[in-house]
Chain A
Amino acid sequence: GAVVSQHPSWVICKSGTSVKIECRSLDFQATTMFWYRQFPKQSLMLMATSNEGSKATYEQGVEKDKFLINHASLTLSTLTVTSAHPEDSSFYICSATGTGLSYEQYFGPGTRLTVT
């Protein structure tokens, strides 16, 4: 149980376009979802925390207008990278935690974004 999926698993987009990444909890209600960014051979950088039905809380240095996060339901959160640039190319990972899952974040498989 406690499976998190991400879609797409990889995406290539042109500079200036926007791309949306979906994160779904498949078999539990995700009251809180987290979005991370990971650069090659580096640790996870938390971008934002979103609670269902509320605005996301962004970490310092993360542009909220550039990385739009929506968590409108208990099973779906989306991250939209607006006006993407090559420096936004990265591995984006979401995780989720929910009621009764107090000790663990369940991670999605990640989305590889390449901006050309």
Chain B
Amino acid sequence: GEDVEQSLFLSVREGDSSVINCTYTDSSSTYLYWYKQEPGAGLQLLTYIFSNMDMKQDQRLTVLLNKKDKHLSLRIADTQTGDSAIYFCAERIVGNNRKLIWGLGTSLAVNP
């Protein structure tokens, strides 16, 4: 079935890089997304990657996709306290009415 898994917690020091990992099971995914949710707020799309890409970089964010292993990662360079939030990985599957399959979210804590 469709499943997306993430580790639940990550703690880093301010200025270090953070790497949040995600694995998925459905090989027919078209797009894979990273969303950020700050406490009490809605979701903000951080970045996405099309399934035929291996890497995408956007300022401090780098997304790596290993389609063979069905593994997606989000690297945040020079992590700041404002990056503290929950990060959700999601995949969109072909022909599924744009429905997204969500991971449980990784809570990132950035320590000064």
Contact = CB atoms under 8 A, between A and B. Distances in A.
Contacts of B45: 104-107
A60 interface: no
Contacts of B59: none
Contact of B100 (A93, A105, A108): A105
Given A32-B97, A34-B99, A103-B48, A109 B42 contact: yes
Contacts of B24: none
B10 interface: no
Given A42-B104, A43-B88, A43-B105, A32 B42 contact: no
Interface string A85-98: 00000000101010
Contacts of A112: 40
Contacts of A6: 42
The secondary structure that dominates the A interface is strand
Contacts of A43: 88, 102-105
B42 A108 contact: yes
A46 B33 CA distance: 16
B98 A109 contact: no
Contacts of A44: 43, 88, 102
Interface of B: 31, 33, 35, 40-45, 48, 50, 88, 92, 97-100, 102-105, 107
Q: Which 9 A-B pairs have the closest CB atoms?
A: A109-B42, A107-B43, A43-B104, A110-B42, A107-B42, A44-B102, A43-B102, A103-B31, A97-B98
